Structure formats: structure tokens, C-alpha cells
Structure 1
């Protein structure tokens, strides 16, 4: 079953305009764009093997002098059939949406993140997840920075039941499928003052839910998966950079994983 949810480019543009026109917290100074805990108002445009990505990040007043906050919205897989490479764009509607709320405590280098993902083009219709996690900056070790992460989440989306023949049948409802944990880290290696590398492994596993969910939560029978993300970044100037991302896992090798080039600008 394929979900036919679509979102016009005009609707995307309207949503972005509304986000940018709301109260934006002025930055006192330019933030370090290589720091995973940096909070700043930003925009990004990505070219991927599944189409175009659009990212908007906006800071907001947390009401505290020692914390900073930021909301980020990403629209992924725009015009995938026309713009993606390797023929991986399913169609010209969007592939997925992602929303993140991120806060950081300036006194101890600890961040907290709400991460909501909603995918439309999977084999089981519309499926999503929502998680809450903590991130902690560790002391710098030469050119290396590490930021461990741990959290819990819930999976939801279109419901499927098994018929008498064992085949999956779509149901006209959404269900909460189960819960999962995530543990990993963001890793950064500084090559020069303009070039840095990231490696961000994340280990996820099912915790509760139906037997079918716990056994196949991430597309493999173990109900657990190790996700890999590698990034090469170049800082063009203090306000802009270009980044190359590669994402893969045990189901998809590096060559068949997701790849994108992204330009980011700090306002």
C-alpha cells in the first residue's frame, strides 16, 4: 500500500514564510556551526538522491538566562522523481517531514531534544516516530569532541492486521505500535578551522508493543538496528557552510544508503 499524501510547493513556501515571520530571537553573536549543541536561526537547502530537502531553524526565548531553545522543521524528498538521482525518488510529492525542538543548558553543556518524524512513502503507508533524548558535551580531547545521546521514543502510524492467510491488511486507523530506545553519540574531528568530520552512530531497539513490532521494528527480525551517519563539512564563511551526508545501516550498505549535499546559512 502506498500513501498518496502530497504537499504542494506553494504550501511549503507558505509554511516557511509563517515560520520566518514569527518572533525570531536575535543572535548576540555568530555561533559555531560545527557544534551539535549550537543554537541559532538558520536555513538549509539539500540536494539528495530522493529529491530536495528544505530546513528552517528558529531560536526562541526560553524565559531563562542560562538556557537557549530552537525549533527546526525539515521537509524532505521534494520533487523526488524529477530531481533525485539514481531513480530513488518515489514521486514528486514530499517523502517525509521532521520536527525538532532543541534546548541547551549553557552552564553544563547538556541538551535535550524532541524529535518527531513522519514518513509518507514507505511500504506500510504513513509511519512516524517521536522521541525525547538528552545530549551531553564531553571535555574536548585535542581535535575530537564527543556528545553522547540517550533517549526513549514511540512509534505510530497506519495500522496493519494479519489475515487468516498471514498477509498484512491495511486498517482505516492509526495505532501506537510500540516504544523504543535510542543510544549513541555525535562525534566531531576538527581537521582545520574550516573543515571537520562527523561520525554519528545511533543504536535503536524496540522495548514494548506488539510481537510483530518488537520483532520487526526497524525492518530486521532482531528488532534492533545500528544506524551510521558520516558527514564532511566545509565552512565557507562564519555564516555559511556546505556539508555532505551519508546514512546507512545493516539493511543498506554505504553505497545503497541515503546521500545528500546541504548548504546551511546562519541568520
Structure 2
């Protein structure tokens, strides 16, 4: 039976970089909303002798997600789901960001959990932004509704975001949604463990992808002022981490978030942030 890996956001960036490694010993199903980008990604993988197929999937649509997961599971042993699909502050309004990043993660997690088998793994992509937001801003009391009342969960998340000026809402929605992703992945570990499966999240910092470069406008480059390694990360670097954590070599690692940010969160402080933003202006 084939080992299958479904990768959301698989048409580019971290998703495609991960596919180039995971695809060496897995049959790939690449998911995205853009068929043209998916075709290009599939061709790029074919040139590396990596077998894949493509699937249109809207992670903010529960039915679309469920259909994608069921389809992938029908192709063989669904060994891993790598959930890289998401949007950043420059890519949409606050409500869209919350729907895709937070609700999308819930939909992916729930759908995969139903079909999870021993040694299968789900990796959700969070962000260092989830670490940098002040804890007083986080609506953590509302996170629990993700498990039984997603409409209430979404309302509580957006109620907090909408307390702030419009120009700040997209960034806040992104940070809150990504903080939630790491929290939710940890809280879901026991359910996955009951099936012999794993779940974890990875929090990237500033990476040299289309999305990462787009977010220079939101201050991602300024974050390098607080980093120990003062450069953008390479997609291949985080792809290696994703692939390793998705492998059976790491069968005892679950319920954690792994920052991969060049040391930004290690060097973060309000003073360091103020200095980094001041240097950006100059």
C-alpha cells in the first residue's frame, strides 16, 4: 500500500519545498486553490521524478476539506498531512485571515482525526507571530469553543480583533490565529494519541518565500534585528524540519510547537521590538 502525504498550500513556498523531500518516499497530493500554480508545481516535481497529483481545496470550506482528506485516504495509507495553507496580513482582511488560518486548521484537524491511523501525523504551520503578540490581547478563553462550537469560536476571535483600529486588525487576526494554531495542536494531541497518531505545529519566522517577502511591508524584515541569524530563512531549511517531523523517525514527538525563526523569539522583548522598528524607518 502506498504511503500518501497530502500537502495543503502545496503549489509553492514551504509546501512545495516540503513536497520535494517528502515525495522521495511518499505519493503526493498537492492541494491549493490555483490550478495553474498546482500544474507548475506538479511539473517541477515530475522533473525530480516525484509522483504527485493535484486537488483544488478551499481550507476555509469544511466540506472541501473533508472531501480532500477522504480522497487522499482512499489512495492508500494517509501517512501525513502537511497543512501549510494560510494567508498573511498583506493578503486579506481580518475575517478572511481568521477563517483560513484558524477555522481551516480546525477543519483539517477534525477531518484527518476521523481517519488517522497508527504512525500517521498532522503538521500544522503556525508562526513566530503567535509568540510575539502580548498575552493580554489573546482571547484564549474563547479557544476552547473550537472543539464544540466553531461559530462561537469565530465570533469571539473577531470580537477581540474588532476592538482595535482597522489598520491593525489584519495583523492582529494573523497573530491570534497563529497563536491558536499552536494551542489547538497541543490540545488535540491526546485525541490523536488514542489512535496511535501524532499532531504538532511548527512556527516559522521570516522565510524567503513569496508570502514571506510580501510581509516585509508588515515588518518581517525588521524582525531580523532581533534574530540571532540575521537573514531570511531558506524554504529548504524549514522543509527539512517539516519532513523530519513527519517521518516515523520522530514517532515519539507530539503535542508541541517548534519555532524555526532564526532566534527571533529567543531575542524578543518590547525594547528590542522598538529598536528594530526604529531601525526599519531609517
TM-score, normalisation: structure 1:
0.29
Which structure has more relative contact order (CA 8 Å, sep 6+)? It is 2
Q: Which has the larger radius of gyration?
A: 1
- The structure with the largest helix share of the pair is 2
